[in-house]
Amino acid sequence: MDNILITGGSRGIGAATARVLAAKGYNVCINYHKQKHAADLLVADLLRLGVKAIAVQADVSQEQQVVNLFKTMDEQLGPLTGLVNNAGILLPQMPVEQMDAQRINRLLTTNVTSYFLCCKEAIKRMALKNGGQGGAIVNVSSAAARLGSAFEYVDYAATKGAIDTLTKGLSIEVAKEAIRVNCVRPGFIATNMHADGGEPNRLERIKSTIPMGRGGEPEEVAQAIAWLLSTEASYVTGSFTEIAGGR
């Protein structure tokens, strides 16, 4: 049985991915930072699908909390076979000239350090040289990594650029350990993250600039993640899947 850890799994793309995976028979560990109620409700829904599911609180930018998260999953769910690095934050829109170090460092720590720390713990468990059976890692990046998000979120876009580089480099490092590392780049997706950035209706404003004329749904990203985790993608590693409506 496959056991998947999803960071930032209580809402948005993370929650949608949990539902898609559970429907396919995967056991799921939902990591959350502050949204305990949402995570618990999600777990209750997943359990009704007949799989194992748990919710574990951890700030995945903090190394010891990441170590504890993975240990808890080991004990309560079983051997890790897949990791979805999805945790991340978006801060209010502003141009670069107004950003301070505190904001920039908070984004880097939350959006980049967390991915590295979780990859490290996953490799410890999945690598053949460590007695593991291999596995798959899917990093959630963003179309912002190539678009730049000028005048709004250049710092956020830069963190996602770092995730793209992590994906490529790590995929090469662990290929012979039977670990596949891939990346999805969602575009403008209908989640609460836009409200975090100070513009809840952002999709309405920018949808005319998207070739498909609409924003995406979290489930559309989740389906791509599920495929990359599956054996159907057994020869896919170091890849980038654009889920951005053509933009």
Question: Could you give the number of structural domains in the chain?
Answer: 1
Q: How far apart are CA 88 and CA 238, in angstroms?
A: 21
Q: Tokens 């389906």 correspond to what residue?
A: 223
Rounded average pLDDT over 89-117: 96
Q: Could you tell me the maximum CA-CA distance found in the chain, to the nearest angstrom?
A: 51
Sign of CA dihedral 10, 16, 19, 22: negative
166 alpha carbon, distance to own chain's centre: 13
Q: Tokens 């076979």 correspond to what residue?
A: 81
Amino acid at 76: Q
Q: How far apart are CA 124 and CA 113, in angstroms?
A: 17
Supply the range of the domain harboring residue 153: 3-243
pLDDT in tens, 6-19: 999 999 999 999 99
Q: How far apart are CA 100 and CA 208, in angstroms?
A: 32
Q: Tokens 């609460």 correspond to what residue?
A: 192
**pLDDT of res. 191:** 78
Rounded average pLDDT over 196-218: 81
Helix H segments across 127-153? 144-147
25 DSSP 8-state letter: T
Q: How far apart are CA 198 and CA 90, in angstroms?
A: 9
CB 183 within 8 A of CB 214: no
Q: How far apart are CA 72 and CA 163, in angstroms?
A: 26
Q: How far apart are CA 72 and CA 28, in angstroms?
A: 13
Greatest mean pLDDT among 60-69, 200-209, 212-221 lies in 60-69
Residue 156 bears catalytic tag: yes
Residues in contact with 225: Cβ distance below 8 Å, sequence separation at least 6, in sequence order:
13, 17, 20, 84, 138, 140, 184
Q: How far apart are CA 60 and CA 17, in angstroms?
A: 18
Pick the catalytic residue from 26, 115, 156, 235.
156
> Which two structure tokens, joined as six digits, stand for 171?
């995929």
Q: How far apart are CA 43 and CA 130, in angstroms?
A: 30
231 DSSP 8-state letter: G
111 DSSP 8-state letter: I
pLDDT > 70? residue 207: yes
CATH of residue 83's domain is: 3.40.50.720
**pLDDT of res. 194:** 59
> Which two structure tokens, joined as six digits, stand for 89?
């934050």
**pLDDT of res. 197:** 61
**pLDDT of res. 201:** 77
pLDDT in tens, 106-158: 999 999 999 999 999 999 999 999 999 999 999 999 999 999 999 999 999 99
> Which two structure tokens, joined as six digits, stand for 189?
């997706």
